[in-house]
Amino acid sequence: MRIGVYICHCGLNIAHVINVRSLQEKAGSLEDVAVVRDIQFMCSDSGQDAIIEDIKENKLDRILVAACSPHLHEPTFKRVLTKAGLNPFMLEMANIREQCSWVHQEEPQMATQKAFDLIRMGVARLRLLDPLQVQKVPVTKDVLVIGGGVAGIEAALTLADSGYHVVMVEKEPTIGGKMALLNEVFPTNDCSICVLAPKMTDVQNHPNIDLITMAEVSEVTGSVGNFHVTVKRRPRYVDEDKCKGCVEECGRVCPVEMANPFDSGLGKTKAINMPIPQAVPQVVYIDSKYCVGCGLCKQACPADAIDYTQQEESLEFTVGAIILATGYSLFDAARKTEYGYGLYPDVITNMELERLLNAAGPTRGKVVVPSTGQIPGKVAFIQCVGSRDEKVGNPYCSRVCCMASMKNAQLLKERYPDIEISIHYIDVRASGEMYEEYYARTQSMGIDFIRGRVAEVMPDAAGRLYLRYEDTLAGEVHEEPYDLVVLATGLENVPDADRISRVFNLSRRPDRFFSIAHPKMKPVDSHVKGIYIAGCASGPKEIQVSIAQGSAAASKAMQLLSKGELESDPLSAHVEADACIGCGICEDVCKFNKISMVDRKAVVEELSCMGCGACSASCPSDAITMRNSTDEQIMAQIQAATEVRSEFPLIIAFLCNWCSYTCADLAGTSRIQYPTNIRPIRVSCAGRVDPAFVLESFERGADGVLVAGCRLGECHYVFANYHAKHRMESLQKVLDDIGIAPQRLRVEWISAAEGERFANSIRTFVEELEKIGPIGSELQEGPQ
């Protein structure tokens, strides 16, 4: 074994604090280290060439680079190893800049000792590394798009225009989603269906898109690149190939009239109907809940398209990637009983007003007071109905309600100039392009904005509605009569979100929308490889953002499938079958469903394994190994970190790759100073931390152990940090039982942006450990 150690000066970023010459001498004394060099800039062309030359001339088989964070240049140096003919996984990086020289500028001697410890820990791990191989697996280049709203349409057309075959599944009889039901769209007040209908038609006519309406995905198996999908399609009772869309013939004879769900129940339609005039496909459907089976439509249909024998179908196919664009549902305003929705006919929702304003709506664009049939003289909009409201469980802002109310208020004012309109708001959210201008225009039209939440809507003896509200800017309470009250209802996830979560194994945020992998850096990636989320499925957003996300999700899918094959991640979990006892704990722990029991042995789907390590940490027989992050490698790092005892409290810190390690890097970038006591070990996730690692740290003489992961609910691996939380809480009780102060184990849930908090956590932990005393002092005093 021949290890090369390369220490970077990084100009003066490292060398100004750390004694590089001393570090070089110490590193040269380590077992198996054949070459030690210090270079001004390791990432420069000359620095990289020096490593390549040494690998070839000195027959080095492992390389340690002591420089900046691996988050910055680990890919760079992996390419260097590949170029030199060495397996790229035989690399280790010691972070002596962000987590050493930059955060210990006032203690150069201690910083130098810490830097050497980090190198020693890296060398210990290097000795146990195995050359890993990336395997290539063929994939299906078809893509499934679920949801035919504007985000799904944009995703499907982007993919289809790029040559990918798309299957679009929509649960309604027509695509178009909520946008197809709007009258006009802010901030330009364009006709909504005018801009959307051509795209809807393009979906129908595109040779690369198969459109399946009135259908839902019932099961998904397999993994990224080869998802096996089962779709249940409800019967339309109309032959799509024969139907000519002449709803006048069949609708005219149908004796059953029902509330039209596409008009929010305000208008009437027949049991056989066309959902909207611009429906795609242009095919009628029979609503089986209302059809009485009289057969008159079949007799009247000139195309012989009516087929009562249709049954639910099960369709199966394979796709390489999935885009979830299931949209949103509107808050049920009846849940806010103080506003009287459902009790008073003159209280309507913003979506109902959209349909009344629409020329194709139930009143052909005429807005009247439901109870009187007259044009309203005074209209009130009430904002945040079902949004920013802890009582109904929706503390979030729905983002579009303020602008939607302004738009409808403008349209009412333009159509009926004498109408008095007031918008009752908590805070106006007008933060998009042109939105402030739109807000100012609304005010200039004489529309009043009244700040304060409306307390209640109540009728007088004559049935006219009164609003009781406080004008918080004037500090006055008012009761005023209105002819029409419009509730700006918030956005919620679709009603069957629980079912969708189960089918696709997706996690949901506290607001019940589907979680994305990272709220900033991965806005359309889900936690499941190959599944992307676009539009309002991941939270309320404007139409233009939904369109952008549809394109982004399509781009991600194309990037994934473009080569026709995928490289398996060699950092996945692997089961040693001989050691597996068949307990099934790992199967329960894996929230990605990548572990199954076959003949009482755990089997990992390694191609799509997320590599969090929660299964390995929970395995009672240590049968699950994380490639390139084995228990032996981590134990070796612990042993190396504790090899030299210090008079200062020594802390072994297990930092998750995605948040807490990045947070520690941020502290360095921000030059936030904290004590040198910490010796970090990077793990994929806090869920990877086995209690044995903590116990080993204490047994080796560490005075404290820090386990830091992503904030709960924000884990890169969905629920893995919850497993870590429960595991560490149980371990603290065990520590107390065996005579080790539970305070010696500190657990932090922290975001990547909280560098100051990370530094403060180290400071306070060191202070606590100094009060407790060195490890073992409890044993002398007896259990606490």
pLDDT value for 84: 96
Report the CATH number of the 332-492 domain. Answer: 3.50.50.60
Residue with tokens 């005093």: 781
- Statement: residue 607 has pLDDT above 80: no
DSSP state of 171: S
pLDDT value for 57: 95
β-bridge mates for residue 257, sequence order: 270
Domain 568-625 grouped into CATH 3.40.630.30: no
Neighbouring residues of 90: CB distance < 8 A, sequence distance ≥ 6? 61, 62, 63, 81, 126, 129, 131
pLDDT value for 142: 98
pLDDT value for 783: 40
Q: Is 59 left (phi over 0), alpha (psi -120 to 50) or beta?
A: left
Q: What span, in angstroms and rounded, lies between the C-alpha atoms of 728 and 707? A: 8
The H or E element that residue 565 is part of is: strand 565-567
In words, the CATH class of domain 247-309 is alpha beta
Mean pLDDT is highest, among 109-118, 363-372, 771-780, for 109-118
Please write the tens of the pLDDT for every residue from 645-662: 777 899 999 999 988 999
Please write the tens of the pLDDT for every residue from 694-752: 999 999 999 999 999 998 877 878 778 899 999 999 999 999 999 999 999 999 999 88
Please write the tens of the pLDDT for every residue from 236-269: 999 999 999 998 899 999 999 999 999 999 999 9
- Statement: residue 521 has pLDDT above 80: no
Alpha-carbon distance values, 427 to 28, 445, 644 (Å): 64, 20, 59
DSSP state of 710: P
Neighbouring residues of 302: CB distance < 8 A, sequence distance ≥ 6? 244, 246, 249
Nearest to 61 by CA among 19, 32, 21: 32
Work out the angle between the directed axes of helices 70-83 and 45-57 (0-180°, nearest 10).
50
Q: What span, in angstroms and rounded, lies between the C-alpha atoms of 706 and 680? A: 9
Neighbouring residues of 679: CB distance < 8 A, sequence distance ≥ 6? 114, 117, 118, 121, 641, 650, 651, 652, 653
pLDDT value for 762: 97
Residue type present at position 158 = T
pLDDT value for 779: 54
Nearest to 573 by CA among 529, 612, 619, 621: 612
The H or E element that residue 554 is part of is: helix 543-561
Domain 629-775 grouped into CATH 3.40.50: yes
Neighbouring residues of 141: CB distance < 8 A, sequence distance ≥ 6? 164, 165, 320, 561, 564
pLDDT value for 512: 92
Task: For residue 504, count other CB atoms closer than 10 A to its CB.
Answer: 18
Angle at 386 (CA atoms; ends 381, 388), nearest 5 degrees: 95
Mean pLDDT of the chain: 94
Work out the angle between the directed axes of helices 631-641 and 691-699 (0-180°, nearest 10).
30
pLDDT value for 751: 87
Q: What span, in angstroms and rounded, lies between the C-alpha atoms of 101 and 95? A: 9
Q: What span, in angstroms and rounded, lies between the C-alpha atoms of 555 and 549? A: 9
- Statement: residue 633 has pLDDT above 60: yes
β-bridge mates for residue 285, sequence order: 273
Share of the chain above pLDDT 90, in %: 88
- Statement: residue 780 has pLDDT above 80: no
Q: What span, in angstroms and rounded, lies between the C-alpha atoms of 162 and 558? A: 9
Domain 1-132 grouped into CATH 3.40.30: no
Mean pLDDT confidence for 459-475: 92
Any idea of the CA torsion for 194, 199, 200, 203, to the nearest 10 degrees? 170
Q: Is 475 left (phi over 0), alpha (psi -120 to 50) or beta?
A: left
pLDDT value for 641: 96
Q: How confident is the model at residue 632 (pLDDT cuts 50, 70, 90)?
A: very high
Where exactly are the structural domains of the chain? 1-132, 143-233+319-328+501-561, 247-309, 332-492, 568-625, 629-775
Please write the tens of the pLDDT for every residue from 540-566: 999 999 999 999 999 999 999 999 998
| DSSP E strand stretches across 186-328 | 190-191, 209-212, 215-223, 226-233, 257-259, 268-270, 272-273, 285-286, 313-319, 321-324
Please write the tens of the pLDDT for every residue from 175-190: 999 999 999 999 999 9
Alpha-carbon distance values, 394 to 113, 400, 519 (Å): 51, 15, 19
CB 180 within 8 A of CB 355: no
Phi and psi, residue 388, nearest 5°: 50, 45
Q: What span, in angstroms and rounded, lies between the C-alpha atoms of 764 and 649? A: 12
Mean pLDDT confidence for 502-526: 85
Residue with tokens 């109310």: 405
CB 183 within 8 A of CB 192: yes
pLDDT value for 536: 98
- Statement: residue 427 has pLDDT above 50: yes
Work out the angle between the directed axes of helices 150-161 and 192-205 (0-180°, nearest 10).
40
- Residue 758, classified by CB atoms within 10 Å of its CB into exposed (0-12), middle (13-18) or buried (19+), is buried
Q: Tell me the residue length of the chain.
A: 784
What distance lies between CA 209 and its chain's CA centroid?
A: 27
CB 491 within 8 A of CB 330: yes
Pick the CATH number of 143-233+319-328+501-561 from 3.50.50.60, 3.30.70.980, 3.40.50.2300, 3.40.50.720: 3.50.50.60
Q: Is 304 left (phi over 0), alpha (psi -120 to 50) or beta?
A: left
Q: What token pair was written down for 670?
A: 């921000």
Any idea of the CA torsion for 169, 171, 174, 179, to the nearest 10 degrees? -100
Radius of gyration of the chain (CA): 32
Domains 143-233+319-328+501-561 and 568-625 share a fold: no
Q: How confident is the model at residue 784 (pLDDT cuts 50, 70, 90)?
A: very low
pLDDT value for 778: 66
Q: What span, in angstroms and rounded, lies between the C-alpha atoms of 68 and 173? A: 56
